[in-house]
Chains A and B, each alone.
Chain A
């Protein structure tokens, strides 16, 4: 196995890869040795971060979120037309930022899918900060992530609300995935593939 490929892989795992991720990802898909290395690197990374096998440790979520965004997938074919977007450019940037929070939510949901609609309070998960604004006729992209400060006029009540909202999003996503299982789940995977059997089943 070429050293260069391993270095690329290591950079990808460590979130330091500067180029297009398509190349190493494609190589990963084709090469069992590279996949084994990928798995090993992640295990090492998990161990260094103190993530025991099978445990749900939310600190890992932030890294995965960042990686998920930076490893944005390859361009396959150009859009057939421009999307009729009503969002201004700034809103799109906010949407990207908000994606970090959503990715965290998705990661949390995936791991905790067997948990009930509302996750336990007090979990140290990522927060989607919610911008409060006046009533409008259209929804507007105004979400932010925990890595950004809340609005200057945010109050503790806002922060509490943001945490509530993040928990709700987690719960909504879990419910959405469960209920859409009959149609399409986790990229056409059966629902069982996102069930973590190591977790106890709540509220049977």
Chain B
């Protein structure tokens, strides 16, 4: 009888060791992404959409430099050099992402480490990616508000070679995988290739509306780990304002769009939910406004957020009444 607690304790300790091992691999992946020079080909798969890319990364005394080009479909290119800026050659986009947001080998493990309280990490055996043996790590969400991840780390270096985002049914909705990788590239050639690309000094800024400091709307229920990243206001084709609230937990982003209903619609309401691969959209009417919530998260997350959107009058009334929030 006295052995039962000991066995239980043993099992708990074993579980703890396994979790530590998985986290160790996440840290190893993150470290590898910051310290390894490499070049390789990778593919991105979402549903039936597939794109092929080439990536080159060079580490020197001044930091991490990388170049990514798309080798099929629309031409696309991204270069980030020692200047600390990331930019698209000959392209147009604004708000170049921070360096750690750019390339998947570094972004995903580090973000998962930052969100460790929302995921359970475990080792899931071994595999092979880009003709290299890998260790497989699962990151399963502890709640129903975010998707999970399966990661394949290079056995030797720890570099993340493949990632799959997994929905609540356990299906991979996005995959990102190296098909070839060279971890001992000719550094001189690598440097010439990367630094030959001159970053766009002044990227074209598209019309995306402006940031605003405060919004009369209130979203009262956000899943743990998510926070408000920004609020923007644009106008639609009829010059009506469209407010855009952006929430993120570092891995997934949820957008809330709010715009007044057309007057001609009267009391009729528009509601729907749609899903494709990792992106879900849900729309409803709240206080004569069309509210649309979109994100790479389960429908439960969108529903939680949607149901907590408070119109200005509602929010004021609640505050004035001193009642529940």
Interface residues of A (CB under 8 A from B): 25, 28-30, 32, 35, 38-39, 54, 64, 67-81, 83-87, 91, 94-96, 98-99, 101-103, 105-107, 110-111, 114, 116-118, 121, 128, 130-143, 157, 161, 165, 168-169, 171-173, 175-176, 178-199, 201-204
For residue B237, CB closer than 8 A to chain A, the reply is yes
Does B206 interact with chain A (Cβ within 8 Å)? yes
Do B107 and A188 touch (CB < 8 A)? yes
Question: Cβ of B271 and Cβ of A136 under 8 Å apart?
Answer: yes
Give CA–CA (A96, B230) in the complex, Å.
31
A sample of 25 cross-chain residue pairs with beta-carbon separation below 8 angstroms, ordered by A number, consists of A64-B49, A68-B48, A73-B45, A73-B173, A73-B277, A77-B124, A80-B142, A83-B299, A99-B274, A102-B279, A117-B234, A161-B270, A169-B281, A172-B292, A179-B244, A181-B97, A183-B101, A183-B248, A183-B253, A184-B107, A184-B251, A188-B104, A192-B77, A193-B44, A197-B91
Which single member of B98, B120, B148 contacts A182 (CB below 8 Å)? Answer: B98
Instruction: Determine the chain A residues whose CB is within 8 A of the CB of B176 once the complex forms.
Output: 187-189
Beyond A169-B274, A184-B248, A204-B204, 20 extra complex contacts between A and B, CB < 8 Å:
A32-B179, A38-B50, A75-B171, A77-B166, A87-B273, A94-B273, A106-B276, A116-B207, A117-B207, A131-B272, A140-B271, A140-B273, A175-B257, A180-B255, A181-B101, A184-B296, A190-B68, A191-B93, A197-B74, A198-B75
Chain B, range 40-90, C-beta contacts under 8 Å to A: 43-53, 68, 70, 72, 74-78, 86, 88, 90
Chain B positions within 8 Å of A64 at CB level: 48-49
Q: How far is the CB of A161 from chain B (nearest CB, A)?
A: 7
Contacts A183-B229, A193-B70 given; does A102 touch B281 at CB 8 Å: yes
Q: How far is the CB of B146 from chain A (nearest CB, A)?
A: 12
* B28 is an interface residue with CB less than 8 A from chain A: no
* Cβ-based interface call for B23 (8 A): no
In the complex, which residues of chain B have a beta carbon less than 8 angstroms from the beta carbon of A157?
Answer: 264
Residues A180 and B246 in contact, CB atoms below 8 Å apart: yes
* Cβ contacts under 8 Å, A169 to chain B: 274, 281, 292
For residues 120 through 170 of chain B, which have their beta carbon under 8 Å from a beta carbon of chain A? 120, 124, 138, 140-142, 144, 148, 150, 163-166, 168-170
Overall SS of chain A's interface = loop
* Contact partners of A29 in chain B: CB under 8 A: 43, 45, 177, 179
Question: Nearest Cβ in chain B — how far from A118, in angstroms?
Answer: 5
Most chain B CB within 10 A, of A71, A73, A168, is at A73
Q: Given A103-B276, A192-B76, A73–B168 Cβ distance below 8 Å?
A: no
CA distance A114 to B92 in the complex (A): 7
With a cutoff of 8 Å between Cβ atoms, the chain B residues found around residue A78 in the complex are 170
In this complex, the interface size class of chain B, counting residues with CB under 8 Å from chain A, is 35 or more
Q: Is B103 an interface residue (CB 8 A)?
A: yes
Q: Tell me, yes or no, whether B187 is within 8 Å of chain A by CB.
A: no
Asked whether any CB of chain A lies closer than 8 Å to the CB of B184, the reply is no
- Cα distance, A194 to B296, chains bound together (Å): 16
Q: How far is the CB of B243 from chain A (nearest CB, A)?
A: 11
Q: With A and B bound together, what is the CA distance between A76 and B199 in angstroms?
A: 39
A186 to B177 Cα, complex, angstroms:
13
CB distance from B165 to the nearest CB of A (A): 7
Q: Contact check, B76 vs A195: say whether CB atoms are below 8 A apart.
A: yes
Contact with A along B228-242 (1 / 0, CB 8 A): 011010101100001
Interface assignment of B21: CB less than 8 Å from any CB of chain A: no
- The chain B residue sitting closest to A63, CB to CB, is B48
For the complex of A and B, the 8 pairs showing the least CB-CB separation, nearest first, are A180-B253, A68-B47, A188-B104, A196-B74, A143-B272, A192-B88, A98-B274, A102-B274
Contacts of A133 in B (CB 8 A): 269, 271
Given A85-B300, A161-B265, A182-B97, decide whether A201 and B255 contact each other with a Cβ distance below 8 A. no
Which A residues are CB-close (under 8 A) to B49? 64, 68, 107, 110
Question: Which residue of the partner chain, among B97, B232, B237, B255, contacts A190 with CB atoms under 8 Å?
Answer: B97
Interchain CB contact (< 8 A) of B104 among A87, A103, A189: A189
Please tell me if the beta carbons of B274 and A181 are within 8 angstroms of each other in the complex.
Answer: no
Say how far B97's CB is from chain A's closest CB, in angstroms: 5
Which B residues, 8 to 50, have Cβ-Cβ distances below 8 Å to chain A?
Answer: 43-50
Q: Given A117-B242, A183-B248, A71–B170 Cβ distance below 8 Å?
A: no
Could you tell me the distance in whole angstroms from the C-beta of B218 to the nearest C-beta in chain A? 17
B251 touches A143 (CB 8 A): no
Q: How far is the CA of A68 from the CA of B265 in the complex (A)?
A: 34
B289 is an interface residue with CB less than 8 A from chain A: no
A201 touching B92 by the CB < 8 A rule? yes
Are B76 and A79 neighbours in the complex by a CB distance under 8 Å?
A: no
Does B205 sit within 8 A of A, measured CB to CB?
A: yes
Give the residues in chain B near A79, CB-CB below 8 Å.
168-170
Does B108 belong to the interface (CB within 8 Å)? yes
A181, B43: Cβ atoms under 8 Å? no
Residue in B50, B179, B242, B251 whose CB lies within 8 Å of A183: B251
> Residue on A with the closest CB to B277?
A68
